[in-house]
Structure 1
């Protein structure tokens, strides 16, 4: 089901009550348990789906640092695929009482299973271990280090183990603290580096913890046992693990997991191969106990609170390497990297089906980095920074054109990070260039072959007056990528009040217009359309800024406007949402071509030369149907969705419409007719939340996630083909509030991410991403 939107504070009308009645719009039912950080309740969604909702204790809600850590935890949990965790359905870390809702999962914790039935046998131990290794592989691929893997954070669900609680341990678990006074884990399951070098903890720490968890599952105790957490810490750092009672065939593997040196431990992929040698299936919880969501108990032993929510801990740690900023890299040495997109597709900012070994991926990234660094030549002046002939044909010393080398994936950071969103916004032009805006950057031209910067114009400092031709004009307006119109690059100011047209070869301002009085700024070919709130439209020449025509009230106030396929369209729903009036306008002269009244509350999302695609919304603003209006005969075909989508986005490719909701459910809908069930060709839960508009190219559906991951799905079968790593900054804003779609041009996919990077990958091999 689509995630429900939060409509109120977590604590309802009594923010200081220890047991609130509501968390957002969810009515809290029975209390499932309590931990050191919060109370877990059973709740149900509007469709009856059972949820585990953890509400933070009031004392922690008043702690600003805890709120920041809790926000990071929510984001970390959302990054990881729901196949191996309790998926996050909704959360509000900024509420009076922060809360997070996850799916309710049936099954006992591993801690409960061992307490009730004793140690696991060798076969069952291998199956649980293989499931945990697969879960860790997924977690690490998402750029997360769990840091608190323990038996009470492992749920034995019917379809295999689930790893829960993406935060560090609760204060009640240990007296061992970091320099900030916060806990860093549960001592019996912590790696030596967590005690010695907590800031350098990586994925290998989770492998160590998994080894300790499997020892506990095999023997009923951990490899380092003591009543004192300080003695446990000493043993973890200095002593060899006690593996007495562990099945002999597993002793060598678990000893490797528990190695003191992180480099000597196996990877999650290696663990999967060794533990699956017997080909066993996953372990289910059966009827042994009721599980819920992601969390752990205050005493570390599990219990109802231990299986619920996952919101009580603080944040997990991202280990995604920071992106080094590459500027002004378009010099003579770089000129050999010729080759670029060839059309005007827009681009912005998000485990493949085939796993790529970590060493192989590192080699690929290293090679890509060397290719870019070899091309770097410093340069630049105040205002406009330039680097030479970045886009022309490559030539060797003898004057002959050098053969273009094979494309290598690249990533660069063109903007100066500042503000609440670091995500650049880009557009690809037919002249083989990418034009991007970013915080602190009005615009930059990048070469698609390697990301080299041809020129970059810094944004004006705060308070600087903007005049036509000023070199330091403002950067992109929120949600507005550059647009190529009339042979110029059009960009908006951050406050949306100014439109500037820049020369594509230098970034110099050719003309500028105050657009603060207009509700919409649209582009149709070489025409700029400025739309007021009452439906009046003023058209400008995209090349010169000269006015072409003005027409009053072409559509009803509040209409939604869209361009595409050589036309301009406005859709205005009636006050009772029973009908929508669609108006087609000729961009050449403002003439109304036709009007059509369609049933329901509809919003336009895509226009082509053949059809207009609209989405129908119900009374709760969920998208419940897809409508295709044929432009030749102006006949409308409405196909209902099997499951309503929240904050849906869609794209039309032939007779198929691909619809994605904010919860990451991607569906292919056949528009040739039939019932909702027959029309739905396939449906895929991508495992990511808050995604971009889909883009279809080369038989693949591409979309980006809020953490910067780029996904590729087989358009015909609905199978996930590949996924890039998350790309986030290390600060407060680790998810992009706006997600422009990626672009696919000349066999390459271009996207942007919240760490401020623009990156390119090979569209033909998503499994290698």
Structure 2
């Protein structure tokens, strides 16, 4: 018998419109949304559990809230849907455009939103009523109305937001009071591991901070520009970078020193994900949409598969199943054999 293929196509499902909202991992599948305002829940086989139609483009990743999901639109709508059947639980209209992904506290009591001008609000999850609001940190940036900020991070009683030229700011989740601030600007993305907040910036900086007080633990500048948020996998801190050519940079989480650099065919604009303890899945943003698999023992390419659409959001991994969202709105799944060919 011949060798098994290292990755076998599992399913392909089109949401019927382009999408940049990313995937929400569920116990039995994924949830996503698209620029037509449709929210879709799929099971692991690619079958539709439900579809819900909102009024406008959903430009950000929805947020899980217990047995429900929060989705916002560019028209300023915010909706809470039942995770079971997509039924609408409440809806707000006339809000600022939702261009930054909403986040929810661990208790599921509060929803945090960052407006295009940098204003931060906390909503009561049960009703959608505003609990507190913090005004913009200063004059809005010229481009603020056309893009969002990096997804905030919630840790215990702190909400960490990256607000362009205003830098990083940690707010008390209870009332929005400022707890600390750091002059880390042009943030591309953030990720939290225990009490360490890892931050990548457009100026090529990667900074590790104590999330409790904002103290800098280390700082490195491994490239001219970071193209994606940091992500932790297989004991390494990974970030997409650009310089003469696109590459994947792996840093030691303890001190930020280089571990490995891997040339990429196209920029990495999002996070990576691990399959088991031996494969790293790297989605690339070129028109071919290559999903690369790197072998952990050497960080060399084990294989790659083509999505034929740009991959700009982080994959979801469930055992041997890897699910990605294409810019064209297709959800694609492969079954991956750990170890490759």
- Report if TM-score (shorter chain) is over 0.5: yes
CA distance in 1: counterparts of 2:10 and 2:161, whole angstroms: 39
Quick check: 2:68–2:82 contact (8 Å CA) kept in 1? yes
- Partner deviation per Cα, 1:318-345 (whole Å, 9 max, x = no partner): xxxxxxxxxxxxxxxxxxxxxxxxxxxx
Q: For 1:401-480, list aligned pairs within 5 A.
A: 409-417=9-17, 421=18, 425-430=22-27, 432-438=28-34, 440=36, 442-448=38-44, 450-457=45-52, 459=53, 473-474=54-55, 476-478=57-59, 480=60
Q: 1:720 aligns with which of 291, 297, 301?
A: 301
Q: Please point out which of 564, 567, 570 is paired with 2:161.
A: 570
Residues in 1 aligned to 2:333 and 2:201: alpha-carbon distance in whole angstroms: 34
Q: Distance in 1 between matches of 2:37 and 2:339?
A: 31
Structure 2 match to 1:666? 248
- Based on CA coordinates, which of the two structures has the bigger radius of gyration? 1
1:513 to 85, 92, 106: 92
Once residues 320 and 171 of structure 2 are traced to their aligned partners in structure 1, the CA distance between those partners, rounded to angstroms, is 35
- How far has the Cα of 1:520 moved from its partner? 4.1
Is 1:503 aligned to residue 89 of structure 2?
Answer: no
Q: Deviations over 1:397-446 (max 9, x none)?
A: xxxxxxxxxxxx521324225xxx3677431124x232122355612221
In structure 1, runs of 5+ residues without a counterpart are: 1-355, 366-408, 460-472, 575-579, 729-734
1:720 to partner: Cα distance: 1.7
User: 1:364-396 CA deviation, whole Å, 9 max, x = no partner?
Assistant: 96xxxxxxxxxxxxxxxxxxxxxxxxxxxxxxx
1:691 aligned onto 2:281: no
Q: Given the superposition, is the C-alpha separation of residues 764 and 628 from structure 1 closer, same or farther in structure 2, using an over 3 Å criterion? A: farther
Distance in 2 (alpha carbons) for counterparts of 1:454 and 1:655: 35
**Alignment correspondent of 1:741:** 314
Please tell me the root mean square deviation across aligned C-alpha atoms, in Å. Answer: 3.4
Map 1:595-614 onto structure 2 (within 5 A): 595-598=180-183, 601=185, 603=187, 605-608=189-192, 609-614=194-199
Structure number having the greater strand percentage = 2
Distance 2:247 2:314 in 1: 16
Q: For the structure 1 residues 490 and 441, does the alpha-carbon distance in structure 2 shift closer, same or farther, using more than 3 Å as the test?
A: same
TM-aligned CA distance change 1:661 to 1:496, over 3 Å: farther
Partner of residue 488 from structure 1, selected from 45, 68, 71: 68
TM-score, L = length of structure 1: 0.37
What is the alpha-carbon distance in structure 2 between the residues aligned to residue 537 and residue 610 of structure 1?
23
Q: Which residue in the other structure is 2:144 paired with?
A: none
Over 3 Å counting, the alpha-carbon distance change for 1:605 and 1:425 in structure 2 is: closer
CA contact (8 A) 1:711 1:722 kept: yes
More helix by share: 1
Of the three residues 708, 721, 736, the one matched with 2:289 is 708
Question: Cα distance 1:745–1:606, how it changes in 2: closer, same or farther (>3 A)?
Answer: farther
1:691/1:522 CA distance change after superposition, 3 Å: same
Question: SS of the residue aligned with 2:292?
Answer: strand
Q: 1 or 2 for the larger relative contact order (CA 8 Å, sep ≥6)?
A: 2
In 2 relative to 1, CA 534–653 (structure 1 residues): closer, same or farther, beyond 3 Å? same
Alignment CA distance shift 1:477-1:456 (3 Å): closer
Match of 1:680 in 2: 258
Alpha carbons 1:702, 1:710 under 8 Å: kept:
yes
Q: Is this contact kept in 1: 2:191–2:229, CA < 8 A?
A: no
8 Å contact from structure 2 (residues 78, 93) kept in 1: yes
> Quick one: distance in 1 between partners of 2:71 and 2:93?
12
Matched residue, 1:87: none
Stretches of structure 2 that go unaligned for 5 or more consecutive residues are: 142-148
